[in-house]
């Protein structure tokens, strides 16, 4: 059987991540790895709509916050295993993405972007006034010291986020290399012409918003167990949206590898500055990198790689 190199590489990466939890590595590295992988999921999810279809979504924090508070609600109702909590968060955020699509996808350009930002503000306002989840006071989540098969709970969080990032990247790769990706690319290039040519533009955009929202919500599901305490201001952080949008721009928006490269680069910058005296200028560093790439490499890191400048249609 001829197994494509992508799937072999993905399997080896997952295996290496699992083995690393047995090697006595410092827990901080897993905390840091969790953050970077979370950004991989968010950047990849954003790129499904923003990069492939050309609809810039500023509502990242809204979907992430929906995922966060889905876990808070499930925990208060008795709790579920973490993979099921992630699935619940993905379902709720995906439905929110579908609803947002029906309400906003007839808007274009800056009007669509403003509408998605308004969604995040509306959801945050609802949570601020919802006493069941703590309202403005926030909610504290009891984080287990360990779980079955893992001596430290952060190992379990890291492995779950590693698997989720593999799912997100594989989904984006599948979309890019199939008829859905070609349809979204046609929408990005000229939506009116695409519609006249028979491309089901509305259905493809709804699919993109649903998948994008579901993955963003899934990325937020384990966040309460990562920090132990959440409030509406941290769950719906505007800086999260800014970082998520910057990562595909830096990495490249027309290749599934671009958001991954951008998330690893900028996520690492955030992790490093977060434990040094540079933590207060982290956003400044990210902004400076973004400006440099926009000026010097408008197609991102992938635009600097000759083999990535042309989309190749290979079997999945």
Rounded-to-integer distance, Cα 7 and Cα 29, Å: 25
Q: Give per-residue pLDDT as tens, 77-111.
A: 988 999 999 999 999 999 999 998 888 888 888 88
Nearest CA to 70 out of 118, 127, 116 is that of 127
Higher-pLDDT residue of 254 and 42 is 42
What integer pLDDT is reported at residue 173 of this predicted model?
94
Nearest CA to 172 out of 25, 288, 40 is that of 40
User: What are the distances in angstroms from CA 75 to CA 68, 89, 95, 132, 185?
Assistant: 11, 12, 20, 11, 40
Predicted confidence band of residue 278 (pLDDT cuts 50, 70, 90):
low
What integer pLDDT is reported at residue 110 of this predicted model?
84
Q: Where are the domains of the chain?
A: 5-308
Q: How many residues does the chain have?
A: 316
Higher-pLDDT residue of 90 and 303 is 90
Rounded-to-integer distance, Cα 47 and Cα 140, Å: 32
Domain 5-308, CATH among 1.10.1740, 3.30.1490, 1.10.3470, 1.10.101: 1.10.3470
Around Cβ 14, how many Cβ atoms within 10 Å?
15
Predicted confidence band of residue 300 (pLDDT cuts 50, 70, 90):
confident
Considering only CA atoms, give the Rg of the chain.
19
Q: Is the pLDDT of residue 274 over 80?
A: no
What integer pLDDT is reported at residue 152 of this predicted model?
87
What integer pLDDT is reported at residue 106 of this predicted model?
80
Residue spans of beta strands (DSSP E) within 207-246:
229-230
What integer pLDDT is reported at residue 241 of this predicted model?
86
What integer pLDDT is reported at residue 147 of this predicted model?
78
pTM: 0.91
Mean pLDDT of the chain: 87
Orientation angle between helical segments 153-176 and 27-50, nearest 10 degrees: 20
Nearest CA to 117 out of 241, 247, 214 is that of 241
β-pairing verdict for 229-230 and 139-140: antiparallel
Q: Is the pLDDT of residue 314 over 70?
A: no
Least confident of 37-51, 65-79, 255-269, 300-314: 300-314
Rounded-to-integer distance, Cα 212 and Cα 208, Å: 6
Q: Give per-residue pLDDT as tens, 201-254.
A: 889 999 999 999 999 999 999 999 999 899 999 899 888 888 898 899 888 888
Contact 240, 64 (CB under 8 A): yes
Tokens of 3: 């197994």
Q: Is the pLDDT of residue 276 over 50?
A: yes
Query: Going by C-beta distance under 8 Å and a sequence separation of 6 or more, which residues neighbour residue 88?
Result: 70, 71, 74, 80, 221
Q: How far apart are the first and last CA of the chain?
A: 14
What is the SS3 assignment for 144? coil
Predicted confidence band of residue 308 (pLDDT cuts 50, 70, 90):
low
Query: Going by C-beta distance under 8 Å and a sequence separation of 6 or more, which residues neighbour residue 315?
Result: 4
**How many CA atoms lie less than 13 Å away from 289 in the CB half-sphere?**
25
Predicted confidence band of residue 302 (pLDDT cuts 50, 70, 90):
confident
Q: Give per-residue pLDDT as tens, 46-71.
A: 999 999 999 999 999 999 999 999 99
What integer pLDDT is reported at residue 170 of this predicted model?
95
Percent of the chain having pLDDT more than 90? 49
Residue identified by tokens 């979309």 is: 175
Residue identified by tokens 């295993």 is: 81
Tokens of 267: 């996520």
């Amino acid at each position: 059987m001829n197994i494509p190199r992508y799937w072999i590489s993905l399997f080896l990466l997952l295996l290496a991540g699992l083995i690393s939890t047995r090697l006595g590595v410092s827990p901080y590295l897993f905390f840091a790895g969790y953050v970077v992988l979370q950004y991989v999921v968010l950047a990849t999810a954003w790129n499904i709509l923003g990069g492939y279809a050309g609809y810039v979504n500023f509502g990242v924090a809204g979907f992430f916050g929906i995922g966060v508070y889905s876990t808070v609600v499930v925990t208060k109702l008795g709790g579920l295993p973490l993979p099921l909590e992630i699935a619940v968060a993905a379902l709720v955020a995906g439905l929110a993405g579908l609803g947002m699509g029906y309400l906003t996808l007839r808007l274009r350009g800056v009007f669509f972007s403003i509408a998605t930002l308004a969604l995040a503000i509306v959801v945050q306002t609802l949570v601020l006034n919802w006493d069941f989840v703590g309202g403005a006071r926030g909610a504290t989540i009891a984080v287990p010291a360990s779980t079955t098969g893992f001596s430290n709970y952060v190992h379990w969080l890291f492995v779950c986020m590693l698997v989720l990032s593999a799912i997100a990247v594989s989904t984006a790769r599948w979309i890019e290399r199939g008829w859905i990706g070609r349809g979204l690319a046609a929408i990005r290039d000229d939506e009116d012409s695409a519609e006249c040519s028979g491309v089901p533009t509305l259905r493809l955009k709804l699919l993109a918003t649903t998948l994008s929202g579901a993955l963003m919500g899934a990325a937020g599901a384990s966040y309460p167990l990562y920090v132990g305490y959440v409030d509406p201001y941290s769950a719906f952080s505007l800086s999260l949206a800014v970082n998520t949008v910057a990562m595909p721009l830096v990495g490249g928006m027309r290749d599934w590898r671009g958001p991954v490269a951008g998330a690893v680069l900028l996520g690492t910058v955030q992790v490093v500055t977060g434990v040094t005296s540079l933590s207060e200028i982290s956003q400044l560093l990210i902004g400076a990198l973004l400006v440099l790439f926009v000026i010097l490499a408008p197609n991102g890191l992938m635009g600097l790689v000759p083999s990535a400048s042309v989309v190749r249609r290979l079997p999945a």
